[in-house]
C-alpha cells in the first residue's frame, strides 16, 4: 500500500498529527516502537492555549476524557501569595495523553516496529523497518522525538545543540491538603531554582520542580535521596505557603537540552515535527504548544501538496516558512533563554529586573484581588465571588479573559509608572 503520509513515531506529536491528517481524509500509516506508549516522565499538564488548540482541532475531549480542569492557579513566593491566574489546567500522565491521542487517530494503520532507514526522493519515499519490512508513502512525517538524530543524519539532517544542560526537571508525588494548582517560585538566585508546581492528577497530588542546575550538581543528586529536605533548603518558606507536605514514592529526574534539526530545507518528501524538529525547555511549558503549531501548519499545507504529483523540496519548504509556525518556534527559544537568565542572572541589572518583575506582579495581584474580592488561598484554591463564577462554563470563561485583559491594562499602567 502507498499511503499519503507515513508518521514515524507516535508520541504526542506523531499521534496527534496522525489524528488530524486522517480526519482530513488522508490515508495515514503510523509506525512506533511501542504498541502502547509506556510510562514516561514528560509533560504532565495541558494548560490554557494548549487545551484551546486541541479543542479547536476537535481533539480535546478525546484526550482529557473525564478529567476535570482546574480553572485557576495560585502563585506564591517567600511564603506569600503573589497572584492568581485563570486558565484551564488538566493534570494527566504523559502516557495517558499519548495513548488517548493514538486512539483518536483511527482509522490509520498502526504498525509496531522500529524504523531503521528512510530513503526520500522528489516522487516517493521508502521507510525500512528493522525487521525487514519496507513501507511506501508519498510523505514522511518524522515525529520520533528528541533522541532520533541517527535516522535523520543519514538524510543529511543534523541536530544542532542550542543549549546543553539547559534545565533539570524533577517529578514526584506529594501528600498535602492542597487540592488546587499551586506554583511556588525559587527564593534565592544562587539556588538556580525556577518554580515548583503542585497539581492534581486523578486523586493524587503531583509536583514538578524546574531548575537550572547541572544534572551532576550535588544538590540535584541529594534531591533523589532526601527530596523534602533538599526542597526546603532552597524554598525555606514553602511549608508556610503550601502547608505541611510529604514527598511520597519515587523521584523522577530529567535533564533537558534544547536542540534543533538543521538542513531540513531542501529535503524532498519529509517534514520533521515536534521535539525531533526543536526540543523545548519544560520550565516554560512550550513543548506541546510548539508541536501543535507544527501539526496545524502541516494540516494547512498537506492537502495541496498531495493534490499534485510529487513531493519536492519546494513543497516541503512551505511548512518551514509557515509564519505561524516560525513565530511559535522563535518564541519558544526566546522565552527559554530569557526565563533562564531571569532566574539565574547575578549582575545588578538582573537583580533590578527581578525585583521589578516580582513587585510588579505582587502589586498587580493585590490590586486585582481587591477588585475581584477574591482570596487566593495558600493551599492553591481561591475563595471569593469571582472564583465561584469562574467555576461555571463558557460564558464565564469569557469573563475570565475579560479579567486577563484588565490585568494586562493595569500591568501596562504600573510598568509606565515604574518607568516614570
Ligand X SMILES: Cc1cc2nc3c(=O)[nH]c(=O)nc-3n(C[C@H](O)[C@H](O)[C@H](O)COP(=O)(O)OP(=O)(O)OC[C@H]3O[C@@H](n4cnc5c(N)ncnc54)[C@H](O)[C@@H]3O)c2cc1C
Binding site for ligand X (CB under 6 A): 8-14, 31-34, 37, 41-43, 45, 114-115, 143-145, 148, 151, 169, 254, 256, 274-276, 280, 282, 285-289, 291
Least distance to ligand X, CB of residue 111, Å? 9
Task: Output 48 or 79, the one with its CB closest to ligand X.
Answer: 48
The CB-of-276 to ligand X minimum distance in angstroms stands at 6
- Least Å distance, CB 45 to ligand X, is 5
Rounded least distance, CB 405 to ligand X, Å: 24
- Residue 265 CA to residue 29 CA, distance in Å, equals 24
Nearest residue to ligand X on Cβ basis: 11
As measured in angstroms, the least distance from the Cβ of 409 to ligand X is 28
Q: Which is nearer to ligand X, 289 or 380 (CB)?
A: 289
3-state secondary structure of 71: strand
Question: For residues 115 and 211, which CB has a smaller minimum distance to ligand X in the complex?
Answer: 115
Q: Which lies closer to ligand X via its Cβ, residue 148 or residue 267?
A: 148
How far apart are the C-alpha atoms of 246 and 319, rounded to whole Å? 47
User: Least separation, in Å, of the C-beta of 179 and ligand X?
Assistant: 20
Amino acid at each position: 500500500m502507498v499511503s499519503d503520509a507515513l508518521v514515524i513515531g507516535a508520541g504526542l506529536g506523531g499521534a496527534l498529527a496522525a489524528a488530524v491528517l486522517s480526519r482530513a481524509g488522508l490515508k495515514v500509516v503510523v509506525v512506533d516502537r511501542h504498541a502502547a506508549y509506556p510510562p514516561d516522565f514528560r509533560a504532565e499538564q495541558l494548560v490554557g492555549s494548549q487545551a484551546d488548540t486541541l479543542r479547536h482541532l476537535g481533539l480535546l475531549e478525546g484526550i482529557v476524557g473525564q478529567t476535570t480542569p482546574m480553572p485557576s492557579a495560585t502563585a506564591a513566593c517567600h511564603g506569600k501569595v503573589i497572584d492568581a491566574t485563570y486558565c484551564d489546567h488538566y493534570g494527566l500522565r504523559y502516557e495517558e495523553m499519548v495513548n488517548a491521542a493514538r486512539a483518536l487517530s483511527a482509522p490509520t494503520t498502526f504498525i509496531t516496529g522500529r524504523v531503521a532507514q528512510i530513503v526520500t526522493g522528489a516522487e516517493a519515499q521508502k521507510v525500512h523497518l528493522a525487521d525487514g519490512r519496507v513501507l511506501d508513502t508519498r510523505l514522511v512525517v518524522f515525529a520520533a522525538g528528541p533522541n532520533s538524530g541517527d535516522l535523520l543524519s543519514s538524510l543529511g539532517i543534523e541536530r544542532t545543540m542550542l543549549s546543553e544542560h539547559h534545565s533539570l526537571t524533577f517529578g514526584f508525588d506529594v501528600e498535602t491538603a492542597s487540592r488546587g494548582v499551586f506554583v511556588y517560585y525559587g527564593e534565592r538566585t544562587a539556588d538556580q531554582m525556577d518554580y515548583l508546581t503542585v497539581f492534581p492528577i486523578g486523586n493524587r497530588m503531583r509536583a514538578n520542580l524546574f531548575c537550572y542546575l547541572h544534572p551532576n550538581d550535588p544538590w540535584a543528586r541529594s534531591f533523589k535521596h532526601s527530596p523534602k529536605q533538599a526542597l526546603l533548603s532552597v524554598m525555606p518558606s514553602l511549608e508556610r505557603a503550601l502547608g505541611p507536605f510529604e514527598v511520597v514514592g519515587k523521584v523522577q529526574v530529567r535533564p533537558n537540552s534544547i536542540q534543533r534539526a538543521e538542513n531540513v530545507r531542501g529535503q524532498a518528501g519529509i517534514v520533521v515535527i515536534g521535539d525531533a524538529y526543536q526540543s523545548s525547555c519544560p520550565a516554560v511549558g512550550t513543548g506541546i504548544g510548539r508541536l501543535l503549531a507544527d501539526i496545524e501548519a502541516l494540516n494547512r499545507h498537506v492537502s495541496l501538496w498531495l493534490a499534485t504529483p510529487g513531493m519536492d523540496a519546494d513543497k516541503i519548504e512551505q511548512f518551514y516558512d509557515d509564519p505561524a509556525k516560525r513565530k511559535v518556534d522563535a518564541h519558544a527559544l526566546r522565552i527559554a533563554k530569557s526565563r533562564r537568565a531571569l532566574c539565574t542572572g547575578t549582575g545588578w541589572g538582573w537583580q533590578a529586573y527581578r525585583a521589578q518583575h516580582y513587585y510588579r506582579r505582587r502589586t498587580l495581584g493585590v490590586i486585582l484581588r481587591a477588585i475581584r474580592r477574591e482570596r487566593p488561598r495558600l493551599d492553591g484554591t481561591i475563595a471569593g465571588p469571582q472564583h465561584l463564577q469562574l467555576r461555571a462554563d463558557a460564558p464565564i470563561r469569557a469573563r475570565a479573559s475579560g479579567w486577563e485583559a484588565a490585568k494586562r491594562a493595569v500591568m501596562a499602567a504600573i510598568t509606565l509608572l515604574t518607568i516614570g
